[in-house]
Amino acid sequence: MQFIKDRGFSTPVAEGITARATFDQRRDFLRQLAGGSAGVGMALWSGRQALAQTAAPGKMRALPGARSTVAGAMTMEKSSSYADVTGYNNFYEFGTDKSDPARHAGRLKTQPWSVVVEGEVRKPGTWDIDALLKLSAMEERIYRMRCVEGWSMVIPWVGYSLAELIRRVEPTGNAKYLQFVTLADKAQMPGLRSSVLEWPYVEGLRMDEAMHPLTLLGFGLYGEILPNQNGAPVRLVVPWKYGFKSAKSIVRIRFVEAQPAASWNVALPSEYGFYSNVNPKVDHPRWSQATERRIGDDGLLARKRPTLMFNGYENQVGQLYAGMDLAKYF
């Protein structure tokens, strides 16, 4: 995606620029990026098919999890290779190219780490990462993941339901939504020099979505702790929503009464809604969401595979949205 780099990303944005100009520039850049990246990214990936197709455990510290018994948590589909899962990423804090996170996230210091829990809870506080790791039994969950750009993977995550943490902090009756705030440290994250998004990257879920047993607080993949490019040391994994809802490298969880800001929704509200449920019937304004390419399996010339309602998790999560107009609340 050199052309994209040349057109903006690597160009530092002057501090004194007006807010409106920054906004226009960011919006134009995001449009370019999102519209073009599925194709260009796939070309990049198909050039790399020679990479090992097997898991590469042993690179990171082991983090085994027992097979999950949560309904829908173990898809039978073949997992994507460790090389693809850890080499083809979106993590804009480290750059917008799919290979940037693997190249630049190594410098991220994930120990010590803590997560602040605040807002509408009876037990606010700061959780050390070691306490979070011990809070509940680790499970393996094999989830289909679908990026809004039109590609997908199958990833064996390790973690436990976010609900475990939520119950322990005792939300008040006013807690209607959760906001997830991620790390924004210029010293460690070269992507923050760009105004491609507002930093820190933030995401949000409605309380019932956050409490759903499939919503995972993720600490590992392929039986090991998360590589930095996948959101170490702790991230969200929401398999029925487009990938960008799954916030990486979380530092703060806020329980709030009103629908919170979410980065892509703030950047381009007409293109990325707050809900962002995978839905083949609701197109992105500039491209269809009816089909996808599975990274590692579907070459550029292969017929695309159909995208499933709620990414195939309709039986588990469909009732959360009963009666909602999903074209309006996209």
Ligand X SMILES: Nc1nc2c(c(=O)[nH]1)N[C@H]1C(S)=C(S)[C@@H](COP(=O)(O)O)O[C@H]1N2
Residue 13-52 contact track with ligand X, rule CB under 6 A, x = bound? ----------------------------------------
By a kind-dependent CB cut-off of 5 to 8 A, residue 321 interacts, out of ligand X, Mo ion, none, with: none
Which residue in the set 37, 90, 228, 276 belongs to the binding site for ligand X (CB under 6 A)? Answer: 90
Residue of 80, 179, 228, 246 interacting with ligand X (CB under 6 A): 246
Helices (H), the chain: 2-4, 19-46, 82-87, 100-104, 129-134, 162-169, 207-211, 263-267, 314-317
Element counts in the chain: helices (H) and strands (E): 9, 13
3-state secondary structure of 178: strand
Give SS3 for 65: coil
Q: Which is nearer to Mo ion, 93 or 139 (CB)?
A: 93
Q: Which 168-207 residues touch ligand X, going by CB under 6 A?
A: 182, 201
Residues counted in the chain? 330
Q: For residue 124, which amino acid is it?
A: P
Residues 217-236 that bind ligand X (CB under 6 A): 230-231
Contacts (CB under 6 A) with ligand X, residues 113-172: 145, 147
75 is in the binding site of which of Mo ion, ligand X, none (Cβ under 5 to 8 A by kind)? none
Please identify the residue of the shown chain whose CB is closest to the bound ligand X: 243
Which of the choices ligand X, Mo ion, none does residue 93 contact, using the CB cut-off of 5 to 8 A by kind? Answer: ligand X
Tokens representing 129 are 């990462």
Q: What are the φ/ψ torsions at residue 232 (nearest 5 degrees)?
A: -60, 150
Closest CA to 88 of 143, 26, 37, 134: 37
Instruction: Give the count of alpha carbons within 13 A of 65, CB side only.
Output: 30
Residues that bind ligand X (CB under 6 A): 89-93, 145, 147, 182, 201, 230-231, 243-244, 246-249
